C-alpha cells in the first residue's frame, strides 16, 4: 500500500495542493464521499472551505485504508499536471504505452537495470517529490518488481517520517458516525 503510505508522508499543505489541483466545478475529487460522511447534501459541501474538505478526504483515505482511491487521486494528479513524469519513466524503462496509458500492465514491466538512471533523469526535470509519488504508484502497480518498492522506500525515508498532522485520529463522536475526526469544532465539540 505504497500510495497510502505516500499520502501519509505528505504535509497537509501538499495534500491540499494536490486535492485543489483536481477540483472541477467547485468540487474536490472526494467531495461526494466527504459529503456522505458529514451527512451533507452533495451541493452543500461546497460551502465548506476546500482545506477542510481536503483534510477530511485525507483522513477518510487513511482511516478506510482505501489504496485504490489513493492510487486514483495520485494518478489523476500526475496525469493532469505532471504527465511528463509518467511518459518519461515509461519511455526510459522500456514500457510500451500510449500517452502514459499501459494496455497490459501484467505484461509490460519496467526494465530493472534502467530504473535508477530513469529516476535520476526525471529528478533533473521535475520536482523530486512528484517523481517519488509516481514511484509509489509504480511500486503498487508492479509489486513483483521489488526494486521499485526498494527505491521508493529509500526515497520516502529521505523525505522523513509520515506527517503526524495528517494522521487519521478519530474522536469518539466521529467513530460513532463511522468517520474520521472532523476538521472543525463546529461539527463536533470534541474536535
Number of compact structural domains in the chain: 2
Is residue 189 domain-resident?
Answer: no
Q: Are 53 and 108 found together in one domain?
A: no
pLDDT classification of 93: cutoffs 50, 70, 90: very high
Is residue 191 domain-resident?
Answer: no
The whole domain housing 49 covers 2-74+164-176
Q: Which of 133, 33, 145, 30 is nearest to 81 (CA)?
A: 133
pLDDT classification of 158: cutoffs 50, 70, 90: confident
Q: What pLDDT does residue 37 have? A: 92
All residues at 6 or more sequence positions from 46 whose CB lies less than 8 Å from its CB, including other chains: 26, 27, 31
| Comparison of pLDDT for 156 and 117, the residue scoring more | 117
Amino acid at each position: 500500500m505504497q500510495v497510502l503510505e505516500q499520502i501519509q508522508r505528505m504535509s497537509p499543505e501538499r495534500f491540499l495542493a494536490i486535492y485543489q489541483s483536481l477540483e472541477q466545478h467547485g468540487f474536490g475529487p472526494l467531495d461526494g464521499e466527504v459529503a456522505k460522511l458529514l451527512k451533507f447534501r452533495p451541493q452543500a459541501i461546497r460551502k465548506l472551505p476546500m482545506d477542510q474538505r481536503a483534510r477530511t478526504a485525507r483522513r477518510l483515505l487513511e482511516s478506510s485504508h482505501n489504496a485504490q482511491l489513493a492510487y486514483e487521486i495520485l494518478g489523476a494528479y500526475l496525469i493532469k499536471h505532471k504527465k511528463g513524469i509518467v511518459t518519461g519513466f515509461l519511455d526510459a524503462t522500456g514500457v510500451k504505452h500510449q500517452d502514459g496509458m499501459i494496455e497490459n500492465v501484467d505484461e509490460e514491466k519496467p526494465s530493472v537495470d534502467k530504473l535508477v538512471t530513469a529516476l535520476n533523469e526525471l529528478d533533473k526535470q521535475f520536482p523530486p517529490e512528484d517523481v517519488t509519488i509516481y514511484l509509489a504508484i509504480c511500486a503498487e502497480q508492479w509489486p513483483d518488481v521489488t526494486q521499485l518498492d526498494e527505491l521508493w522506500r529509500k526515497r520516502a525515508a529521505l523525505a522523513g517520517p509520515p506527517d503526524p498532522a495528517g494522521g487519521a485520529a478519530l474522536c469518539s463522536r466521529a467513530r460513532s458516525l463511522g468517520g474520521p475526526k472532523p476538521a472543525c469544532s463546529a461539527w463536533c465539540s470534541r474536535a
